Amino acid sequence: MRQQLVLRVVVVLTLVLGVNYIAWRWLDSVNWSAWWIAVPLVIAETYSLIDVALFGMTMWKARRRDDPPAPAPGLTVDVFVTTYNEPVELVMRTAEAARDISYPHRTWVLDDGSRPDLAAAARAAGVGYIERSEDWTDRPRHAKAGNLNNALFQTDGEFLLILDADQIPEPEILDRVLGHFDDPAVALVQTPQFFTNVTSADPLGSQAPLFYGPIQQGKDGWNAAFFCGSNAVLRRDALMQLGLVGYVRETERSVREALHASRRLLDRAQRDAPDAVQAAVLHEVQEAAARALGSLDAGEPLSDVTYGFQREVDAISAQVVARDVASIQEDLAAIAALPIARDDEIGAVVVDEPALARLADREWSPLGAIESVQALVRAVDVDRGSEAQAVMPVATLSVTEDMATAMRLHSLGWKTVYHHESLAHGLAPEDLGTMMTQRLRWAQGTMQVMLKENPLGVRGLTVGQRLMYFATMWSYLSGFAALVYLAAPIIFLCFGVLPVTAWTVDFFARFIPFFLASQLLFVVAARGVKTWRGQQYALALFPVWIKAVWTAVANVWFGRPLGFAVTPKVRPDGTPSQWRLVWPQLLAMVLLVVAAVIGIVRASLGLSLWVGTTVNLLWVGYDLVVLSVVVQALRYRGFTGPEASPPSSARRRGIA
């Protein structure tokens, strides 16, 4: 409690000093004559202040939970081990550990690779094996989210423990966390991810002690603990509700889109219609579509609207047939009246009701000849025929299914829990290329969610929850700020261009207190966990963050595939291709060193003042120390030491 008070004081202090500094920067110290660097710098600094504010807000209500009660006996649990292409031995090591979890449960290997040898191994070990059903053939597979959704419909446990193929669970994992579900509003319990193949120096920054600790506890305080895809238990009911709500929403969206698009398509079809009769028919269909859209806007149930629309189209079709038949009968009568006698039975032709109905039905309808109408009729329906399953409980809108799933759970009013105890241990990537690809995907997934379902606008979230999701998304924009922070000192040292009006007492008196306060906030919030590596990578991976943002924008707004910017294939033994992965960082380091030398020479020659030069040299030094992590990562040859074990604080509660 006292610790929390101290933290809040530091948060307030940091924000007051931060606003004091940034306000002065904007109002009084932007060097407008060099606006091209001065404005980006002050924007980057403002970005950072907002980032610190969001971090402060996250920490404000940090929640360290007490142990939950022991779970009631008799709950039904399915344990899912998800795999795509991991080695069979690795998957089976996890599957066997999952099988040996002490609380009664059933274990399933969810094999997206449909490998017969894994199926055999699973059978031999006495665990279930699930592969994709036939419904998924030729339909979007939705990666891991699809794999989970497929399994959800082949199992029936009340709770699901989800484990990545390499996340070996402790036998007591279910006993420790199921008690949280005594609260019927809890949909998810997330436990930390801890990696055993990582040295204490952690050159690739694999452990995320700040995230699986203070940050998750902070988010938990706002009822916004994140789902991280593995080492989490979910309530099936909640997921199913999500799937049903999502189904309705998704269907309504696609029906709406089809009706909207039909307006333009039918306009064009009317212009191109071969005759006035057809144009008139198209016009009628268009009006029916407009009425359907109106009913949707008026909040009428989707099923009624789509059914009504289909009926209207059927009626139009019947009219066309009736008109055709009438003209046929008129022709026949005219033929019968001709003076030339024939041996056929023209007088006897009667087209009866069933025949009329048959001519008008969906299969034979004259409207079927008009492609735009046919496509519209297919789209304005509720069967979601383009997907393998109409109901998709695990969100499929992003390459990272977890964040979107949790956000939607929150928007429906469910609670999530962060359980701070390491109960499953996994393997982290052991080379720079794999690590960077993984980070890129996380960042891309987060940006996709931000662009497609911005948490600030999602209905049903509390203000705190909105900001907790937004904070994570905001942090991935740091690549652009990093670029400015690297460029500004280089530009000053080489060319003497000042982004601020002067390096004066005014500047130091405002900047230094803010800087120190935010560092202090970090230290207090971290409560002793190692955060330096994370801080380094937050800046040093700036090219990854930038790439993630622009690929996500290109994907969401311009429909380009995310993978068009994949990390080049890397040989994990550290050969030159690894260097190519981090060329922007290496180039930045070279430029920083060159700029430092030039800056010293310029100051010695009296071309610039020593104050400014010293400030910028310190700045360069900081940048270099941060960026140096990529050199360490490049020299890393994979893990050889003894397996790491989680810090005692995380292994058992007691950190409080």
Q: Which positions lie near other proteins, rule CB under 8 A?
A: 274-275, 278, 281, 320-321, 324-325, 327-328, 331-332, 334-335, 338, 340, 342, 344-346, 348-351, 355, 358-360, 364-370
How far is Cα 280 from Cα 285, in angstroms, rounded to an integer?
A: 9
How far is Cα 39 from Cα 45, in angstroms, rounded to an integer?
A: 10
Q: Could you tell me the two tokens for 141?
A: 């597979």
CB nearer to other proteins: give 138 or 344.
344
Q: Provide, rounded to whole angstroms, the least separation between the CB of residue 369 and other proteins.
A: 3
DSSP string, 42-69: HHHHHHHHHHHHHHHHHHHT---PPPPP
CB nearer to other proteins: give 335 or 594.
335
Q: Provide, rounded to whole angstroms, the least separation between the CB of residue 318 and other proteins.
A: 10
DSSP string, 284-319: HHHHHHHHHHHHHHTT--HHHHHHHHHHHHHHHHHH
CB nearer to other proteins: give 209 or 366.
366
How far is Cα 427 from Cα 240, in angstroms, rounded to an integer?
A: 31
Q: Provide, rounded to whole angstroms, the least separation between the CB of residue 381 and other proteins.
A: 22
CB nearer to other proteins: give 342 or 459.
342
The number of CA neighbours under 13 Å toward the Cβ of 332 is 14
The β-bridge relationship of strands 106-111 and 77-83 is parallel
- List the strands of the sheet with 194-195, edge to edge: 168-169, 424-426, 194-195
How far is Cα 417 from Cα 589, in angstroms, rounded to an integer?
A: 42
Q: Provide, rounded to whole angstroms, the least separation between the CB of residue 279 and other proteins.
A: 12
CB nearer to other proteins: give 351 or 598.
351
CA distances from 348 to 6, 321, 329, 343, 344 (A): 99, 20, 11, 12, 9
- Amino acid at position 441, single letter: R
CB nearer to other proteins: give 271 or 459.
271
Q: Provide, rounded to whole angstroms, the least separation between the CB of residue 229 and other proteins.
A: 50
- Amino acid at position 522, single letter: F
80 backbone dihedrals φ, ψ, rounded to 5°: -105, 125
Q: Provide, rounded to whole angstroms, the least separation between the CB of residue 268 and other proteins.
A: 14
Count CB-CB contacts under 10 A for residue 286. Answer: 20
Q: Could you tell me the two tokens for 259?
A: 């009706």
Reduce the DSSP state of residue 82 to 3 states and report it: strand
Q: Provide, rounded to whole angstroms, the least separation between the CB of residue 312 and other proteins.
A: 18
Q: Provide, rounded to whole angstroms, the least separation between the CB of residue 380 and other proteins.
A: 20
Confirm if 229 and 400 have CB atoms less than 8 A apart. yes
How far is Cα 170 from Cα 168, in angstroms, rounded to an integer?
A: 7
Q: Provide, rounded to whole angstroms, the least separation between the CB of residue 150 and other proteins.
A: 38
CB nearer to other proteins: give 337 or 505.
337
Q: Provide, rounded to whole angstroms, the least separation between the CB of residue 344 and other proteins.
A: 6
CB nearer to other proteins: give 337 or 605.
337
Q: Provide, rounded to whole angstroms, the least separation between the CB of residue 432 and other proteins.
A: 59
Q: Provide, rounded to whole angstroms, the least separation between the CB of residue 273 and other proteins.
A: 9
CB nearer to other proteins: give 240 or 332.
332
Q: Provide, rounded to whole angstroms, the least separation between the CB of residue 334 and other proteins.
A: 5
CA distances from 394 to 83, 138, 153, 227 (A): 16, 20, 12, 11
DSSP string, 363-430: TT-GGGGSHHHHHHHHHSSSS-TTSS-S---S--SSSSHHHHHHHHHHHTT-EEEE--S--EEE----
CB nearer to other proteins: give 355 or 502.
355
CB nearer to other proteins: give 365 or 448.
365
CB nearer to other proteins: give 254 or 319.
319
CB nearer to other proteins: give 201 or 334.
334
Q: Could you tell me the two tokens for 3?
A: 């610790």
Q: Provide, rounded to whole angstroms, the least separation between the CB of residue 350 and other proteins.
A: 7
CA distances from 280 to 123, 258, 277, 285, 543 (A): 64, 21, 5, 9, 57
CB nearer to other proteins: give 185 or 334.
334
Reduce the DSSP state of residue 130 to 3 states and report it: strand
CB nearer to other proteins: give 173 or 376.
376
Name residues whose C-beta falls within 8 Å of residue 276's C-beta, 6 or more positions apart in sequence: none
Name residues whose C-beta falls within 8 Å of residue 97's C-beta, 6 or more positions apart in sequence: 168, 169, 171
Nearest to 234 by CA among 127, 394, 102, 462: 394
Q: Provide, rounded to whole angstroms, the least separation between the CB of residue 451 and other proteins.
A: 41
How far is Cα 612 from Cα 320, in angstroms, rounded to an integer?
A: 83
